[in-house]
Structure 1
Amino acid sequence: MRKFFVAAAVSASLLLLAPVGASAAMDPEPPAPSPTSTSYTPDNPDEPTLAGSTAVGECERDVPWISYSVTLTDPDNQSTSDEVYLVITDGVNTIEIFLGTLVNGELSGRVLWPGASVDENGIADGWPGWAFENGEWIEIDGNFAWTRGDITAFIRVNPEVAVALAYPPATPECNANPRNPSTAGFLSSTGMSQLVLPTAIIGGLVLAAGLSLFVLRRRPRN
């Protein structure tokens, strides 16, 4: 009889412990948490820009100039150059002008318009699209005449930016062209152009002939 009760007690104990064991087998311990790490998303570098840079045509004492102001904004040092160029084109012809080297991202100054020139005193003695030939100024297709027409321009470093550049228009105060080109060539000894001189000579001869005829008609007849 005692054996029966012992066997029953053992069976009951096994029944009570079985769910615990099964639960332990079904629910394993979670793995130890891994060390926490801070997530990192790299920032895209800011592109360099020439925003705010300008180049404009100006006239001073009949001389055409290009005044420029260049500012390079490059917070992440992406630009690979510090040399500044001004590029002018009409779609067919192109000229590239070296303006200088940036200093701390800045450059400003002015250069003569292509085809323009001045003498040692800074007085204009050449203009784009004009030539002094046979004692007078005449318009020509060469000497960068195309730069006075419909052009586009941009400033280039490593980025580039378009600028509103145009040949300076003539005003009463300043004319970036020869003044009175049809009579610009003068003979220093007479003060008369080569075109006017022959006309004056012919006129003088006609006047002399008229006076001679007048004198002959006035001469008393014998």
Structure 2
Amino acid sequence: MHSSVISAVLLGSLSLLPTVSSTDATTYAPDDPSGATLAGSMVTTDCESDAPWISFDVVLTGGTVEEATAPVSLILDNGVNTATVPLGSLQDYRLSGRVLWPGASVDDAGRGTGWPGWEFRDGTWTAMDAGFAWTRGDIAATLRVNPDLAVPVAYPASTPDCATSPNGVRDAAVAALPATGGSASGPIALAVAAVGAFVAGALLVLQRRRHRRA
């Protein structure tokens, strides 16, 4: 009889213990963030053969196997307009190369033939608001893979050796460069002129003295 009572008490106690359903056990999954990052990725711009280029070096760290070959884009935005520039796809978590700036074009030799915000019309280049002209202003840029990364990007400025506008139509700052560069020869020209004037004056004085003695 005592054993029957003990068994009953044990069974009753076991029935009060919490149970774990098979459903709860199979659906539970701990947080496992991938921690993927684009830290170390870089985007730069430059002018070559009168054409604006975007160079990039994208590195994905901590990504999944599927992300190792993910497509990469550069998003340009000025708060009103947005342009997506495809850069290609990662190869083993990395991608590097360069692409033309949106709205730019080159010939077979790689020399610039078109620029954002300019149109060749009636034999002359005309500035316009279309044709990605807004990308030459104040913009924000984002590398998009998964995750994203904000990067500093700006339209490359023209230089005396490379124009990022139609030939002969340069930025105001660059248009002033020939004068600024020429200023270095200005003092030299003045000095030569001064020496010439001095020599001419000295010869004139000697000539007059000789004339008086004669």
* TM-score of the superposed pair, with normalisation by structure 1: 0.59
Query: Matched residue of 1:121: which SS?
Result: coil
Q: Give the match for residue 118 of structure 2.
A: 130
Shift of 1:175: 1.6
Q: 1:75 to 1:97 in 2, by over 3 A?
A: closer
Question: CA 1:150/1:144 → structure 2, altered by over 3 Å: closer, same or farther?
Answer: same
Separation in structure 2 between the aligned mates of residue 81 and residue 106 of structure 1, nearest angstrom:
8
Count of aligned residue pairs for this structure pair: 141
Structural RMSD (CA): 2.1
Q: Secondary structure at the match of 2:99?
A: strand
What is the aligned partner in structure 2 of residue 68 from structure 1?
56
Q: Call closer, same or farther: CA 1:148–1:75 in 2, change over 3 Å.
A: closer
How big is the shift at 1:74?
1.2
Give unmatched runs, 5+ long, in structure 1. Answer: 1-41, 183-222
Q: Distance in 2 between matches of 1:80 and 1:124?
A: 34
The verdict on how the C-alpha distance between 1:136 and 1:51 changes in structure 2, with shifts beyond 3 A counting, is: same
Q: Which has the larger radius of gyration?
A: 1
**Structure 1 residue runs of 4 or more that deviate by more than 2 Å after TM superposition:** 42-46, 75-81
Tell me the equivalent position of 1:92.
Answer: 80
Residue 111 (1) aligns with residue 99 (2): yes
Q: Which has the higher helix share?
A: 2
The alpha-carbon distance between structure 1 residues 137 and 181, as it changes in their structure 2 partners (threshold 3 A), is farther
Q: Match of 1:22?
A: none
Distance 1:122 1:91, change over 3 A: same
Which ranges in structure 2 are unaligned for 5 or more consecutive residues?
1-29, 171-214
Aligned to 2:133: 145
User: Structure 2: which amino acid aligns with 1:73?
Assistant: T
TM-score between the two structures when normalised by the length of structure 2: 0.61
Q: Does 1:55 align with 2:11?
A: no
Counterpart code for 1:151: I
